[in-house]
Amino acid sequence: MSFFLIYNIVINCKELKDMRFVFFLLVFFNFFNIGHNKFYSINKEKALFNEFFGINQKSSARLIYKDGYLNIEGLKGNAHVSIYSIIGNQIAFFSNADLSSFKEPVSLQTETMYIARIEFSSKVLTHKFFTR
């Protein structure tokens, strides 16, 4: 419906100045229309929104792998913790783990990057970490 309205405005414009303004509006609404936007995924839209308004959603979690144990610091509550290799293979899974005192033995290769997925009931955090 809005397309036909814009189309009629474009057809009825007599001056080039009006045409440029209508073209700008057409591009603007097409590019930033969240419901029908094909250019951005939902995560990118949220990231653009958060960066524009200065909302910082980085967690203060620290993942430390030392002497065969994985420590998670800076988070509280219970969550499911999954450890994945960089190609997506699941290495370890800890169900309903208490993150305030999380220290679990995990056998990981040294000098390798892994991804930790921490699933709370209301949100999911992902962190990359390296083993040394």
Check residue 18 and give its pLDDT.
59
DSSP 55: -
Check residue 71 and give its pLDDT.
93
Check residue 60 and give its pLDDT.
78
Q: For residue 63, what are the CA distances in angstroms to 73, 108, 121?
A: 6, 14, 20
Check residue 114 and give its pLDDT.
94
Has residue 125 got a pLDDT over 60? yes
Domain residue spans in the chain? 2-52, 62-130
For 62-130, the fitting CATH number among 1.10.760, 1.20.1330, 1.10.3470, 2.60.40 is 2.60.40
